[in-house]
Structure 1
Amino acid sequence: MNLLQNKFSIEDAMAKLWNKLDGWLDALILNLPNIVMAILIMTAFYFIARGLSRFFKNVLLKRISQVSIREIISKMIFIVVLLVGFFISTGVLGLDRLLTGVLAGAGVIGLAIGLALQGTLSDTFSGVVLSFLPHIRINDYIESDDIKGFVAEINLRNIMIHRTDGNYVIIPNSKFTEKPFLNYSLSSRSRISVGCGVGYESDLQQVEDLVTRVIAENFEQRTGEGIEFYFTEFGDSSINFVTRFWVDMTRTREEYGARHKAIKLIRQHFKENNINIPFPIRTLDFAKNDLRIDRDKNREGP
């Protein structure tokens, strides 16, 4: 009796399963045109999104000098157009109610994910802010936290800096925005300083006039700029001075080159005019002691 009951229960379950599958098959056949239409709509909107993204990036946004801004706007356009195609496709399939429930659940899930990914979201928001900042652009030469190099990329996660030694440094956006940075590329002119010292026997006015003239002849000073010269201290073996002047500079290599040139010129003209650049000299006075060593003192007898 139990075997017959089990047999009938299995047959009933199988019959219900086949009826369910048959119903799904009928629904699939009936909705097949809508499914095909939805697939075609999504495909069409995908290519439309790609085309509009490239069009905005290469044509309409070409006047924007910030490459990162063009990248972000083009990606946002791609996502928005793709979402429009998705909503239209779900409408064709008659999944409006299902979509409403999915969006409601996604809101709750999104809140939980947002709390769990605060650091990542902070980097994303900082990346958007950096992309729209006019004070930092791709290929700018910057210095941040003892890291110098060219801005190679700004994305929604981090900023990539290409150092002069060929290596890349990747800094999270949130960490980068928390610290001050120096952008050498914002101004084409910067003031540098060169220091030196002359002997105490030197004519100080002659030294000042000579250094000022040498710098003026070799480094152009524009309106509002000028050469500054100051004696700074009485050193141990020299009277020290510093001169400051303006040069074309958008990166540290140009600063090193200008300082290198100025030092060579000052040294050359000091030598031609017999101006001494002293260096510290230490004299060691060894007193002569009557030192005698009795070699036989510790020698044992026969």
Structure 2
Amino acid sequence: MHDPVLLKTILSNFSPSPGNNFIDCTAGEGGHTIPLAKAVAPNGKVLAIDADSEQIANLKSNLEKEKIENVVSAHGNFKNLKQITAENSFPPADGILFDFGFSSWHIENSGRGFSFQKNEILDMRYDPTDKSIPTAADYLNSASAQDLEKIILEFGEERFAHNIAREILYARRKKTIETTQDLVNIVLEATHSRGKINPATKTFQALRMVVNNELEIIKYGLFAALDVLKPKGLIATITFHSLEDRLVKGILKEWAKQNIGEVVNKKVIKPDYIEIKRNRRSRSAKLRIFRIL
């Protein structure tokens, strides 16, 4: 189980106590779910949602090891939060957590091509059971040059987007793009870059985001959260890059203007030096908390 980001800060703001009910919309292996469940036991519950059925299996295994029985696990996408809470007869929540980062498990163990450091099939779907979602390879082999350039520029903020899109089209005429190494080679050919940061980083981010429709789903999830919270309930969001953070910040600011609630932390909360040293993955994390009226 990976080290949960900003756990102490989330717990101190949620102040979970016996009888409270919380929702973890991105439960993963249970890094945030398990401490919340322990804090609200015996009468409180945690609804743990994850889009990845393999992660739900990992979560259930960890719950069993910890002998935790007050977690309701649900395989599903948090864009369907209202439906998932209704299906599980889950009561209005005291707090809802969204951790928008993809987990280290996806990089290290999923085998779906999330990382350019391993040569794997380019899948990148969080939910490979959903056959309506095209894989990353499907997208690369079918998208137009204009669409490829647009998503690499917008979602990857990649200055070589035009060159990379053009190189993708050239490469797929010769052979189908199938693996992470295929894509890395394309990016290297397009950029001729050999800097400290792998030049494929931004393209991989863009591709993952478009495959999983990440920004749209964040919007759906946040608005759905308003309908399943108790009065004075809290929404906590953890973002890991500027596109996510700008989106979340804008939504919360607009809600405050509309008197839906208030932003709890006027300044974004970041991990301290000690946490970053212990968990390098946390270095770009930003926590925002909103309380509804």
Normalised TM-score (structure 2)? 0.19
Q: Bigger relative contact order, structure 1 or 2, given CA contacts below 8 A and separation 6+?
A: 2
